[in-house]
Each structure stands twice: as structure tokens, then as C-alpha cells.
Structure 1
Amino acid sequence: MDLGNGLGHLSYSTLVHAGDTWADMNASLREFVPLVKARVSPDAPFAVSLRMSASTVETLRGSERERADLISFLREHDLYLYTVNAFPYGPFKGREVMEDVYEPDWTSEARVEYTNAIADLLAELAPAHIDPSIQTSPLAFAPNVTGADYVAHFTTNALRVAAHLYDLERRTGRRVKLALEPEPACYLETTDETVAFFRERIHSPAGVAELARIAGIPLSEAEGAVRRYLGVVFDIGHQTVGFEDITTSLAKLVDAGIPIFKLQEAAALWVERLTPEMLPELRVFTDTIYLSQSSLRVDGVITKYLHLGDALDAYEANPVETELRTHFHVPVFLSEIGPFRTTRFGVEAALAMHRELPLSDHLEIETYTWDVLPAELKTGDIVDYVTRELEFVRDLAQG
């Protein structure tokens, strides 16, 4: 939905629903999204964030009828597509995902072709008044990055997609934006690392020149194109897991001239003061199909772990005064969840900043963990849950 006053479009990520194939995603879209719209935007168009797996892309590219049916459904229900989640390439629901979620990474031809195909679909499926965004992975899982050649390879591939987006707009008049999403344990993890990557690899004279060569355009045109087509998703939950100050991090991106193509409202699990008595209840959250990157802060020193269970084991071996944050997406309207707290404060800080000077035209809630949230912490069904999140973020954004 359009929040008005330049505050951008808001919806929720359909990554929360079954959607590994187009049959699954189409069924989820038709079952849940009209129900959510009826509650939060009954009299105005409602934005749709669509998860597109590689399987979905293959189906939609190959079937004009499926594309026409989707356009018809969106129009019939007063819905409009504004963003696509192209982070998970393959299956994401109902099986262990872990670090496979980053594969294929940005060194692969498959990732380039998949992303370009989504851009082409968006040029057809998104309405004319929307410049749609593509959310993608943080280039690579950090342990896989073996050196400078690896970084140069995925940098070139990102610029190849930017060149495709330039050509797509030239041919169709439709601008599609690619947004890299920093995440714990990845090549792009911290805001400082993200700023450095853009400064040294994308916005640098060498990066601009490489885009000019790939796209076959003058340097003067490439200088603007890198910012017109390449930017970031800022996931508030990811950055709070790393103990970043959210307003400071957002200001760094703005000051560096890095477009925030999507501002993602997400909250993580937070334990301000860990105690041994909490460990059994926290270990409930380790039974998940997703990575649970976690950070422990002791005397100002932050230590990072790939899994919550590893962080809890480390604390149990040395139970000193410790603060814990973990990459487990929790409902953004909650400041507490059971006996623990959440990093909702990060969402509140970001939206306060956004109200003063809008940071992005795309806002999205990405709490995809409904299916793995402990049963005793769920209230209502998934439509209730999504509706409460949307109402909370809308009210915060509008002030």
C-alpha cells in the first residue's frame, strides 16, 4: 500500500508462505493476500512482494497464459507487484536450508541469468507507476570467498546485471532496481563492509569503467547508471544482530550515496542479560531449518557464531555477564517474546528517521519464520499475524 507523503510502498514478504514452485506460490498468493488486503487496505490498492524461486521463474517465462492469469488476478483484487524476493534461488520451506540459501552465489552464471529473467518479468508484471526492486543475496557466504579473484568475479556479475537493467529500461521504458542484502556471516555483512564494497568496487572509477565496457555506454552515462540500478536492501534485524546502531548505519549509506532500494522492517531475538536459567528456553529456538547467526557481547567485545546453539554452548562454558542477539525473525509488533526481548527498537529508530526524510520508496516486513516459531508463542493465524505487523509498521511510518 502507498503510505503517502513520499513514505513509499509497504507490504509483507510472501516468503512467509509456501512458495518453492509457482504452483505453491500462486496458491499462497490467492489464499492469503486478498484476506490481508481486506483488513489493512480494503479501499485502496495493496502492494505485493512476490517470492520467485528459479522454478517459478522458469514456469512464468515459459507460459504467457500464467503471466496473463497473474496480471488478471492482481487487477481483479486491486493488487500491484512492487518487489520480488530473489534471494533464495531454490527451496526455502519444509526442508533444512542453512547456508545453502546463498547458493548459487554471485560468481555463478545461474545467479546472473535468474536475476535478469526476473527483471524481464517485472517489466511486464509490475504496473507502470512502479519502479520494481529485486532483493538478492549478499554476493556470497563469507567462508566461500577465497580471495581477490572471487570478489572480482561476483563484482563483474553484479555489473553485468546492472548493464542488463540499463538495456531493459532503454528497450521497454521500465526501470528495475537490484538490491543486495547484507546478512550476518556473508561477504556483505556489516554496513561498513557494504560501504567499502560500493566505494571500492561499484562507485569507483574502475567499477564505473567496467560497467561502461559491459553495457557499451559512455563513462558519463555509466556514472549515473551504477546508482540508478544497484543499491541495497537494509534489513534492520540483520544489522541489529551485529550490534549496529541503526540510525548511524543508515546515515553511513546515505552519506556514501548508496541507494536503499528496500527498507526491511525485521526484528531479531534479544537477550539483554543472559543467565544459565534461560538456556533451556533459548534452545527451543535452535530447532530450525534456517541459519541462526548469533552474536555475544561481553565487556564490549562481540563474538559471532553461525548457529544459536554454538553461541549458547560458548556461554555455558563461560557464563559471564553476556548480551545475546540472534538472527531469528520475530514479529515486529512485539517488544518481548516470552521471557526474552526483541530488537523492535531498531525498527522504531529506522522509521523515525524515515518519517523525517524518506530513505526508500519500498518498505517491507520480512518475518518469514511463522512456521518455525514455537507453538506456544503464536497467537491467531498467519493472516492475524501479518495484519498486526502491517498495521504496526504503517502507524509507525506515518507517525
Structure 2
Amino acid sequence: MAGPSPTLVHCTNGYPLAGERWEDVLASLGEHAAAVAALQAGGEPLPLGLYLPAAAAERLIRDERIDTFRGGMRAAGLSVRTLNGFPFARFHTPGDPLRVYRPAWDDRRRVEQSLHLAAVLVELLPAGTQHASISTLPIGWGSDRLDLTAAAANLREVAVRLARLLDRTGVRITIDLEPEPGCLLGDAAAACRFFDEHLGGATQRRHLGVCHDVCHAAVLFADQAQTLAAYRHAGIGVHKVQLTSAPDVVFDGLDEPMADEAVALLRTLPGERSLRQTSLGGEASGFFEDLGEALSAHPRPGGRWRVHHHLPLTLAGLGPLRTTRNAVAEALEDLAAHGERPLLETETYTWEALPPALRAGSLAEGLAGELAWARARIDRAWSR
């Protein structure tokens, strides 16, 4: 037996937001998260990974309305266990898909955002909580001009400030960088190198860590156990693991009609709101910042393609399109085998933008189904 299983939450960054005020967030939670909570058995508050735009967090503190916000969440049957600080501002609107990676960590606004989020989080957590995670972007987008020295200094400053928060509140908040393909820290190797070179102090390791997104590693064809082992070997805490799935197509062996169907399915993945980073395995190996570039370079695809676009965990595949969801079980089994219990989070933020063929039911039904799917895999991994 691997001991008690970890806490499972689902991230609210898939909910539509009318604006970036805390009132907009609360209204969205009251409509969407409350609907998910109503589908859960047991009547306990639904644990959430809350997404708060930077402006909403700042106003909650400035206007001293955290009690009001907490009361609204309690009335809706909701409980906060972690925050998602990756997007700085509302990002579910068509436009520049690189917007979610800006500002980068070399910008002082990331320091202010993270400290505001930490101050809000310690007030929203259930009584007795000793540690909670805030996930954040992995420095910035890889092709942007970034000041790495400034980014590291900003992260070190945040670690010092979080140590003071721990002294005052007894709650250890960690800022956890989330490696993503195409970003400056695109994979575990880059993250480990950055921590080794810039974040080696005890305070930094206590308050800075990693959020491991399963499909981010899977898109790069990375082995889940080896990825998690790299963080352990480097002494980097993995404080949150996002249970996510992405498209996976093996073109080799498909006849022409099936290959055309696979390409047609991939083209239905919307790219107006987020990039669809694409990795090619096999003879035509390579990486493209967006699916459109990959298809332009390879109009008759071969080998194996994986695309960064979150798909429902309940979806095993559709025709020639498969998914990487088996990687979720691989990650869970490795965590359980090592007696680790990071917070686990489902994060299919693309739900409402997905074509109907790739999702079933309402937003609430889909997210509740994902939680049930994930819980079954978690229970299986921790019962061995």
C-alpha cells in the first residue's frame, strides 16, 4: 500500500470570465464550479485549483474583500486548495496566443502578482493547511527576449518574501514553475539546469519548485517516471501535478483516407486562444511552435505527432486520433511508488473551445466526468 492518496482538485481556468474583477470570478464560480459541485457525491465542499487574474487578486487585497469572496465560495460549496498563476490576465479571448506567456518573470509585475496571490491564498485555504502551491509560467516564451538574470533575481525575491509569510502565518506557499514545450524552461532538463544555476539556496528550494503537467512532458515524448526522477535527483520539489491529456497520432501505418481524417481532426483544434505546440517523432522528428507550421512543413505527415492541446481525460481517442492519457496513469504510479503526495489537478481549460466531436455533455458534466476518471486512477495507483 502506498498510503493515503493525494488531494484531487480541478482547475477553474477553463471557466468563462466576463472580466478580470474578483466579482467576475465569483460569478463564474457560482455558475460553473457550483454546477460541478452539485454533481459530486458526499456533499463535501468541492476542492478547486482557483484561477485569479492578477487584477482580481490585487483588488481583493486593496479593497479588503477576501472575507466576502471566501463567503461566496463557501455558499457555493467550494474550497480553494491551490492557485493557478500561469496566466497573468484573462486569456479565453481570441487574439495573440503568446499573450498567456507575458509578462515574463523578468518583469516586476510577476513578483507583485505572485505575492498578491500568496496573500489571498493563505486566507482562503482550509484551516490547518500547512502548504499550498501556486503554479506559474516557466520564465517566459522561448523566443522572446528575456533577461534571465532579472528573472532569477525576481524569483529569489519572491522566495524571501514567502519565507516571511511562513513566519507570520505558519503556511508554506510555493511558487511552482510549470515547464511547457516552447518556453524557456521547456522540459525537465531545462528546469533542473535553471534551478541548479540560479535557485540553489535553502530558502529558494523551500519556496520554489515545479508544477509537472503530464501532457507537457508527453507532447515531447518524455517518459513520466524519468521526468519525475530528474526532479528528485536535482532536489526540486514537485508540489503540483496536472493530470492532462493531448492528441497523439501515429501516421505510419494509416492509409491515405485515415491519414486525411487524422489531419482534419487536428485542424479542428482551435489555435486562436493558445498555441498548439507540435512534436514529431520518427524519421520526420522535429518541433514546431504551432500545429499550423507543422502541417505547412509536412502536408503529408509521417511518423508520430503529438500536439499541445488539452483534451478531456475521458476521451481515449476518435478514429485515427488517440490521446496521451495513459501517461497520467504512468505518472500516478511513479508518484505512489515513491510515496509522494503532491496536489493533483485536472486542467482541461480548452473544454468550451473544443469541437463537439472531442467533448461530450455540458462543461460541468465534462469536468465532473474528468474528476471521476482521475479519482479511479488515483485510487488504483495508491492501493498497490
Same fold judged by TM-score > 0.5? yes
Superposition pairs for residues 1-399 of structure 1, below 5 Å?
A: 5-19=3-17, 20-21=19-20, 22-64=22-64, 66-130=65-129, 131-145=131-145, 150-203=147-200, 208=201, 223=202, 225-273=203-251, 276-277=259-260, 278-299=262-283, 302-316=285-299, 319=300, 321-399=302-380
Q: Measure the CA separation in 2 of the matches of 1:287 and 1:357.
A: 38
SS at match of 2:209: strand
Does structure 1 retain, via aligned residues, the 8 Å contact 2:247–2:324? yes
Structure 1: state its 5+ residue gaps. 209-222
Alignment length (residue pairs): 370
For 1:282, give the aligned amino acid. L
| SS of residue in 2 equivalent to 1:11 | strand
Instruction: Give the C-alpha shift of residue 158 in structure 1.
Output: 0.6
Aligned equivalents of 2:123 and 2:302: distance in 1?
55
After TM superposition, the structure 1 stretch with the greater mean CA deviation from structure 2, 90-99 or 136-145, is 90-99
Measured in 2, the distance between the counterparts of 1:387 and 1:123 equals: 26
Residue type matched to 2:136 in 1? T
1:322 corresponds to which letter in structure 2?
G
Deviates more, 1:384-393 or 1:251-260: 251-260
Per-residue displacement from partner, 1:263-293 (whole Å, max 9, x unpaired)?
A: 1100011102266523233222254321111
Is the 8 Å Cα contact of residues 6 and 361 (structure 1) preserved in structure 2?
Answer: no
Partners of 2:236 and 2:320 lie apart in 1 by 38
CA distance in 1, matches of 2:4, 2:233: 20
Gaps of 5+ in 2: none
Distance 1:374 1:106, change over 3 A: same
Q: Could you tell which deviates more after superposition, 110-119 or 375-384?
A: 375-384
Cα drift, residue 112 of structure 1: 0.6
Contact 1:355–1:398 (Cα < 8 Å) also in 2: no
Cα gap change, 1:364 to 1:320, in 2 (>3 Å) = closer
Contact map agreement 1:272 1:323 (CA 8 A) in 2: yes
CA-atom RMSD, angstroms?
1.9
Q: 1:38 to 1:14 in 2, by over 3 A?
A: same
Contact (CA 8 Å) 2:138, 2:184: kept in 1 or not? Answer: yes
Contact 1:138 1:182 in 2 (8 A): yes
User: Which stretches of structure 1, 4 residues or more, deviate above 6 A after TM superposition?
Assistant: none
TM-score normalised over the length of structure 2: 0.91
1:166 alignment partner, SS class:
helix
Deviation at 1:116, TM superposition (A): 0.8
Percent identity of equivalent pairs: 32
Matched residue SS, 2:79:
strand
